[in-house]
Amino acid sequence: MVIALILTGGFATRLRPLTLTKPKALLPILDKPLLDWIIEGVKKASIKDVILSVRYLSHLIKSRYGDGSTYNVNIRYLEESKPLGDAGPLRLAFERGEIEGTFLTIYGDVFSDLNLLDLINYHKKKGGIATLALAKVEDPLRYGVVVLDDEGKVKSFIEKPKERPPSNIVNAGVYVFEPEVIKYIPSKYPSKISLHLIPKLLEVGDVYGYVHEGIWSDIGVPIDYRRANYMALKKLYPNGYIDKTAEIGDDVEIINPAFIGKNVIVGRGSKLGPLTVINEAVRIGTSCRIKGSIVMMGTLIDDSVVIGDSIIGEKSFIGKWVRIEDGVVLGDEVVIDDEVFIARNAIILPFKEVTSDVREEGKVVL
């Protein structure tokens, strides 16, 4: 029986300010947390036993998922008392008797429609010590790059190559491991799967790659997080989605694909989309223009606001005639006063009130 170990304990510093108030795995993709999507994928593979490796803001994950009964899986928690890296929880799980046989390991920051059952069956057919799920990307320099032979065996694995990468096939952050891999994980923490474990496995056994051709994105930085939402939107709702409880005013223009969640109110004359996600209980005033953006749950946006290609955290308030340029990220419960201008790529930390223009591009407002 295969068990799924999902790694959710990281600090996710590159996603701040969003991750100052919640772990990365709880950031929403469309209308539900990323971890919900991952658990649903595990369940579709007929896997009932899930271990969540947790540390940073672990109470938020535990309070949402509990014992897993709401999700029709059995969830146990592996609490990290200190940072273990992404390989350390594998060893810890075995030392505590949580895992004995073949197991899945899934990064908690990956959004994908990968069929996990197909991956497991491929692993069993090949008979190797490990199988890596792989994806094709346009910018492989940011990832672990893999070269395969004609049989699907991994010939080389280069973590974030500094020079021209030998392929555009990269580590997708989902693995099937046999239990003997544990003896190749360093006993000293922290340790990394890509730096310490995979290179060693390539020396001692057969490691295979399974190339996934569908949706795949990590959410390591804000632009990746937006991209994951765009992918989900285009795949699941190419013609857009408006929840039946949403109230859409007169003369509102929606350019699809766009996602309008539960109990959203959009004032007359506003224009939304494309590639825009409006989460539950957001209220948008009249004559607003929002495109390419994610507006999280409970945010209030007053009249005549313009927001482009940005992320607005939960329960924020955006005053009248505010203009938010591309690439801005607001943490949760930010207040922006009327007529304020926010320059491109600015970052505003949670609970901050902004009373004057932010003219410097990329400025961090503490």
pLDDT band at 134 (very low <50, low <70, confident <90, very high): very high
d(CA 253, CA 289): 10
Contact in structure between 262 and 281 (CB atoms under 8 Å): yes
Which one of 48, 153, 160, 363 is the catalytic residue?
A: 160
- Convert the pLDDT of each residue in 46-56 to its tens digit: 999 999 999 88
- Closest residue by Cα to residue 64 from 94, 88, 33, 92: 33
- Convert the pLDDT of each residue in 192-204 to its tens digit: 898 889 889 998 9
Known active-site residue 160: yes
Domains of the chain and CATH, by start: 3-228 (3.90.550.10), 237-365 (2.160.10.10)
- Convert the pLDDT of each residue in 225-267 to its tens digit: 999 999 999 999 999 999 999 999 999 999 999 999 999 999 9
- Convert the pLDDT of each residue in 302-353 to its tens digit: 999 999 999 999 999 999 999 999 999 999 999 999 999 999 999 999 999 9
Q: C-alpha distances in angstroms, 277 versus 234, 245, 342?
A: 11, 16, 20
Q: C-alpha distances in angstroms, 211 versus 91, 105, 119?
A: 26, 16, 9
> 3-state secondary structure string, 152-215?
CEEEEEEECCCCCCCCCEEEEEEEEECHHHHHHCCCCCCCCHHHHHHHHHHHHCCEEEEEECCC
- Convert the pLDDT of each residue in 210-227 to its tens digit: 999 999 998 889 999 999
What's residue 252's pLDDT? 96
